[in-house]
Amino acid sequence: QRDPLRNMLEIILDTRMALFDNSIELIRFYNYKIIEGDENIIHSWWIKDEFWVAKGKNNLKIYLHSKKKTSELLISFEAIEVVRKES
């Protein structure tokens, strides 16, 4: 059995002007740890991302851009849930 739920990070997305998939409403990362960057990503554009698995952990690096800076957020997590808008 997987580890019990210890923590969760929820990212709510405004995908109205997304170039590709605009049906995603939010993403939840379960049992996560922020390896690089911080959770203060409000008003940032999600430019691109990279996903890989290392040592049994899922890793996602998100490249962000805001009016003031470009940054990266690296998250390690056990599970992810993508919630889509109802059509």
Helices (H), the chain: none
DSSP string, 41-61: -TT-EEEEEEEEEETTEEEEE
Per-residue burial over 40-76, b = 16 or more CB atoms within 10 Å of its CB, e = otherwise? eeeebebeeeeeeeeeeebbbbbebeeeeeebebebb
Per-residue burial over 20-32, b = 16 or more CB atoms within 10 Å of its CB, e = otherwise? eeeebeebbbbbb
pTM of the model: 0.82
Q: Where are the beta strands (DSSP E) in the chain?
A: 8-12, 24-30, 33-36, 45-54, 57-65, 70-77, 79-84
Average predicted confidence (pLDDT) for the chain: 88
pLDDT at 17: 74
Q: Convert the pLDDT of each residue in 3-57 to its tens digit.
A: 677 899 999 888 877 777 788 899 999 999 999 997 778 888 889 999 999 988 9
